[in-house]
């Protein structure tokens, strides 16, 4: 299955409410032993593998054959690559496919791919026959450090990103960092903003490591990547365990996303999610500094690190400040017409106001950040 032998295995456990939990297994060459892991952790009568057409050629068809060779009933379905496939129409087609093949409550859904596939397949699993087990196998850095962990699933709506979805925690997550070898450079770098976000909200040492030696991660060394993914998963696990349904603390994971989602939507998803979040973090850091929430030198460090990682920090030309704010109001992070933001107090610690991590900012401050970016 994989040209890499399993070099290392790191494990992070995510604990949810009611005593539920699931493992995140991180390593190199995990795909070659996936059948054994599935038999042990997520036994099922049939495994529906959802992927996109690019990943299907790289790994999907071989994974299907590998599972069948191990005696598992595995069926593969590939959707068009890209965010435009994350919609209700594609979800309905997946449901029709699963029903036509006789899928039952003893089936399981395997999501092989990036964040789009994880969100789409996870939402489908959550509603199919009122819920079947869901197993993400992320193949992008973005999905490994963010989308595959935490249980959020959704599809997009013409009015905005991720507006229709549910919480459906996975049974297990398998992150094979060797799949990052085939990731195009732009897609790989698009995962780095979520790494920076993780460091800003809870790991000063990780932030300093990124500042000191970004090349170690950009060169995609398996051990460095596995450690990076594990560090981000531990940070996210701590947040999810404390606030699984995003009643308060989990809002910190939205740093850069209030404006980032608006930029992504306005671009017609030509701007990758990570690129949009990078710009969002830069803009929101500037606004937080103007509001005296974040020291200006910490805002400068965040923006400089994003630049050193080869990421954008300014909105695309033609995206007017007024349009960006209008698009942001359609997002889930708007409350009674007022935009809320997750903002750092300093690198390694997020800000609270009246006990809440979701903080309103005057439009004037945000517009100023947009105009002077």
How far is the C-alpha of 362 from the C-alpha of 141, rounded, in Å? 34
Active-site annotation holds for 292: no
- Let me know if 236 is a catalytic residue: yes
Are β-strands 344-346 and 334-335 bridged in parallel, bridged antiparallel, or unpaired? unpaired
- Is residue 246 annotated as a catalytic residue, yes or no? yes
Give the sign of the dihedral formed by CA 9, CA 12, CA 18, CA 19: positive
| DSSP strand pairing (107-113 vs 152-157) | unpaired
In total, the chain counts a number of residues equal to 373
CA angle 180–186–187, rounded 5-degree value? 45
Contact call for residues 113 and 143 (beta carbons, < 8 A):
yes
Q: Which of 64, 83, 244, 246 is catalytic?
A: 246
d(CA 218, CA 241) in angstroms, rounded, equals 30
Which residue, chain included where needed, has tokens 């009246």? 354
Confirm whether 11 is a catalytic residue.
no
- Residue 91 appears among annotated catalytic residues: no
* Strands 46-52 and 359-360, sheet pairing: unpaired
The stretches of the chain forming alpha helices (DSSP H) are 34-41, 53-55, 61-69, 88-100, 115-127, 141-142, 185-190, 192-202, 204-212, 214-218, 222-242, 257-266, 273-290, 296-308, 321-328, 363-371
Q: Does 194 participate in catalysis according to the annotation?
A: yes
* Sign (positive or negative) of CA dihedral 356, 359, 360, 362: positive
Which residue out of 236, 265, 286, 333 is catalytically annotated? 236
Pick the closest to residue 122 from 82, 64, 169, 60 (CA basis): 169
Active-site residue among 83, 91, 162, 194? 194
Which of 161, 209, 234, 261 is catalytic? The answer is 261
Is the separation of the CB atoms in 183 and 140 below 8 Å? yes
120 φ/ψ angles, rounded to the nearest 5 degrees? -65, -50
Catalytic residue among 83, 254, 265, 275: 254
Question: Does the annotation count 37 as an active-site position?
Answer: no
Which of 171, 257, 286, 333 does the annotation list as catalytic? 257
* Catalytic residue from among 4, 86, 152, 265: 152
CA distances from 363 to 117, 277, 306, 311, 328 (A): 34, 19, 24, 25, 11
332 catalytic residue (yes or no): no
Catalytic one among 75, 234, 273, 333? 273
- Catalytic residue numbers? 130, 152, 194, 236, 246, 250, 254, 257, 261, 273
């Amino acid at each position: 299955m994989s040209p890499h032998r399993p070099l290392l295995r790191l494990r992070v456990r995510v604990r949810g409410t009611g005593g539920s939990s699931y493992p995140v297994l991180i390593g190199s060459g995990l795909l070659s032993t996936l059948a054994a892991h599935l038999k042990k952790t997520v036994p099922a009568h049939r495994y529906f593998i959802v992927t996109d057409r690019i990943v299907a050629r790289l790994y999907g068809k071989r994974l299907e054959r590998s599972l069948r060779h191990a005696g598992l009933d595995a069926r593969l379905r590939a959707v068009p690559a890209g965010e435009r496939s994350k919609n209700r129409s594609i979800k309905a087609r997946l449901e029709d496919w699963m029903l036509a093949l006789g899928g039952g409550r003893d089936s399981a859904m395997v999501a092989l791919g990036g964040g789009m596939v994880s969100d789409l397949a996870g939402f489908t699993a959550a509603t199919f026959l009122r819920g079947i087990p869901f197993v993400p196998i992320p193949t992008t850095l973005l999905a490994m450090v963010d989308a595959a962990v935490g249980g959020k699933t959704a599809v997009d709506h013409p009015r905005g990103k991720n507006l229709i979805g549910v919480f459906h925690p996975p049974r297990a997550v398998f992150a094979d960092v060797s799949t990052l070898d085939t990731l195009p450079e732009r897609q790989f770098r698009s995962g780095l903003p979520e790494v920076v976000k993780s460091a800003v909200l809870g790991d000063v040492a990780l932030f300093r490591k990124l500042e000191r030696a970004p090349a170690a991660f950009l060169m995609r060394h398996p051990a460095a990547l596995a450690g990076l993914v594990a560090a981000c998963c531990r940070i996210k696990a701590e947040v999810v365990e404390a606030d699984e349904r995003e009643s308060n603390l989990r809002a910190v994971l939205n740093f850069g996303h209030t404006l980032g989602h608006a930029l992504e939507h306005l671009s017609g998803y030509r701007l990758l999610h990570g690129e949009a979040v990078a710009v969002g973090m830069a803009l929101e850091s500037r606004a937080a500094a103007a509001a005296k929430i974040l020291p200006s030198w910490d805002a400068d460090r965040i923006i400089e690190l994003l630049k050193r990682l080869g990421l954008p920090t300014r909105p695309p030309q033609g995206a007017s400040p007024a349009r960006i704010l209008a698009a942001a109001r359609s997002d889930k992070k708007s409350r009674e017409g007022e935009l809320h933001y997750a903002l750092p107090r300093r690198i390694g610690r997020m800000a609270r106001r009246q006990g809440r991590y979701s903080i309103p900012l005057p439009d004037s401050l945000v517009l100023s950040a947009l105009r002077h970016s």
